[in-house]
Structure 1
Amino acid sequence: MPDLPLLDLAALRALARDSAAIAGACACVAPAPIAWTSMPMELPQSRLERIATLIAAADYELSVEEYHPRGTHYWSPDAPIAIDRYPGNHCDVWRCRQCGRCFLHYTEGGGYFVDRRIRLLDPALIVDTSIAQD
């Protein structure tokens, strides 16, 4: 597997803006999850290509602390995307091979299951945790 570029906050925001500007119909749009969800059957992983990562290679034990300054929670459609907090820090960035829209993707592993989770990359939700949020 080739090494993936590690995106910083500015690069992720730029990619998200480009992705959000894509107009037109695509099979990835209908099931495109705004909040975290299991990979929809209508959006097979083969339709996507992995293009970058948010996982800092030097971090052996990645934090599982979430970031919800406005009372959101993991499942909230408006939950912030923070690259240094869970689940952002466990994600790779995937792009639709047909239209170019981007998604965050990671694998949730529990005691008895593995669940591939996905979320549409929304530039409005990307936050800098070093800056106080209202």
Structure 2
Amino acid sequence: MSPLLDVSSLRAIAQRSAAVSQTCPCTAKSLAGWEGWPVTLRESQLRQIGSLAELAEEEATLDEYHPDGTSYWSVAAPIAPLYYPYNQCGVWECLACGRAYLRYNDDGAYHSESRIRGLDPALIVDAPYQR
């Protein structure tokens, strides 16, 4: 089981990821915002190194955090670990280059889709959850 990550650990991973400059197949498609799983990325190329999912999926909030008017799909959307979808994410790294990504399964009414987003240290916020 992967360790539960706090915000400071998440930031450290994101900063290491941002420092990677080598080309890699994991960067064939921009993953700055949430994307469906790209066909160019192999599942075996990533390994899980942590989790942001503190609560079971059915207990976690579906509230999103967008204080500046961003949306789920925005590349500028904040990464707020206590809010959806981040509160259901695993943190994964590329075995080839070390870049880090957020991953979760978007379970809709009729389908389930694996989603992935690059981990940008500038977007991580330590926003407390408020009902």
Aligned to 2:120: 122
Deviation at 1:113, TM superposition (A): 0.5
State the 4+ residue runs in structure 1 displaced beyond 6 angstroms.
Answer: none
Count the aligned residue pairs: 128
Q: Following superposition of structure 1 onto structure 2, how do residues 1-134 of structure 1 map, counting pairs within 5 Å?
A: 3-57=1-55, 61-130=59-128
Task: Show CA shifts across 1:74-107 (max 9, x none).
Answer: 0001000000000110000011010000000000
Contact 2:57 2:88 (8 Å CA) reproduced: no
TM-score after normalising by structure 2: 0.93
Identity %: 48
Q: Where do 5+ consecutive residues of structure 1 fail to align?
A: none
Alpha-carbon distance in 2 for matches of 1:34, 1:86: 17
1:63 Cα deviation from its structure 2 partner: 0.6
- Name the CA distance, whole Å, in 2 between partners of 1:68 and 1:110: 21
Is contact 2:34-2:73 (8 Å) kept? Answer: yes
Any stretches of 5+ residues in structure 2 without a counterpart? none
Paired AA for residue 81 in structure 2: I
Q: Which amino acid aligns with 2:94?
A: C
* 1:24 Cα offset (Å): 1.2
Helix, strand or coil at the partner of 1:28: helix
1:32 positional shift = 3.7
Q: 1:58 to 1:111 in 2, by over 3 A?
A: closer
